[in-house]
Structures are given as structure tokens and as C-alpha cells.
Structure 1
Amino acid sequence: MPLNKENVYRKELAKLSEIFKDVEEPKRQLVEGLIQDAAFLLAENTALKELLSQTGMVKIHPKNPEMQKPVEASKQYLKNVNSYAVIIKTLNGVLMKGVIEVDDDLDEFE
């Protein structure tokens, strides 16, 4: 059953918003656009992945297998994955800034 991009977007937006609900308001407002972009990219890639499952990521010439060409959708998929990863890393950095590290017993050995 194909996934609806809008449903994927809303689900991811809700998930990320829930994760950031306890972040200080100014920081949350600052990353609001990144949260929306992450949800958008995930939804787009869900649709692209569905398409690529049918077409494959590379077109191979039927008579000459050495002749190969990437499918345009695969190029976009990879760009989106990279952008999504950068956004998630950035968002995670914002989350980690508010975490207080708990001392552990290994600190005594430093």
C-alpha cells in the first residue's frame, strides 16, 4: 500500500515536535523550520523510495550492461538523504546542549 506523502509529513512533524516539546522556547522557535524541513525530506524520500523500488536506482542498457546511467530520482533521493542527515545532526546538537552529563565512576580515573 503506497504511503501518502502528506501523512508521512504530518507523522514525522508530530514526532519531531514531541521530541522538542521540552526544549526552551527560543531554541524551539529557532529550529522550527529545520523540523519542518526534516519532515518534508522524509516524506519526499518515502515517495522517491517507493518509485525507486519499481525502477531501481540505475538504468542498465539492455544490450550492453556496461552502459549504466543513474535514475534522476536516485540522485535526488541521495541529495535528500544527505540534507536530512545534516538537519537531524543539527537538531540533535540542539537537544544535546540542554543535557546535563551525569558523572560516572570512570571520572575518578582521569
Structure 2
Amino acid sequence: MAPPDDMFGDDDYPAYTMGRAAEITGASQDFLRRLDEAKLFTPFRSAGGHRRYSRHQLRLAARAREMVDQGTALEAACRIITLEDQLQEALRENDRLQRRQQSETS
């Protein structure tokens, strides 16, 4: 496990219980379970088997709730969000590689 100082800035650290995650996202606990079933993300599990959510997962859950509230089917919302998330990651990686290439040619 990472030292406490490293966990504060870690978007992937599973810091939130299901109850707190539901409260933060404004979604029900059942909705969070359905996101897991729809494979939007897989929550971490505590030693006791309880679901734990990261800030990144909470942002995805909040986006899914927003889309479903606007009438998008859950499965479609999850697919759209997954694709948006993959695109953002690819853009970040592309940016990182371009910066590295520029620093190597400088």
C-alpha cells in the first residue's frame, strides 16, 4: 500500500465506501451496483469484500447518472463514457509522447 502522502493525490486510490460514493454522486447504491454489472468500472474490494470507489470512478458514475437522467439507456451511457475515457487517456499519452520527443530533439 502507498504511503499516506501519495494517496492524497491519487485519483485511483479506493477511498470511498459505497454509501459515501452514492452520497457524493447523487446516485443510489443500486445504481452503483448496476454500473459494476454494466462493466463501466469494477470497484475495488476491501478485505471484508465491501466495494470501495476511487475519485476517478466517482466521476464516471456521476457522468453516467447525468446521462441516464437525461434519458440515455444505461448500457449506452456506459459505452459512451468508456469511449470518452479511452479517448482522454489516448490524448494524454499522445501529449506525453510528443513532449518527450520534443525534449529529445532539443
For the criterion TM > 0.5, the same-fold answer is no
TM-score by length of 1: 0.33
Larger Rg: 1
Q: Which has the higher helix share?
A: 1
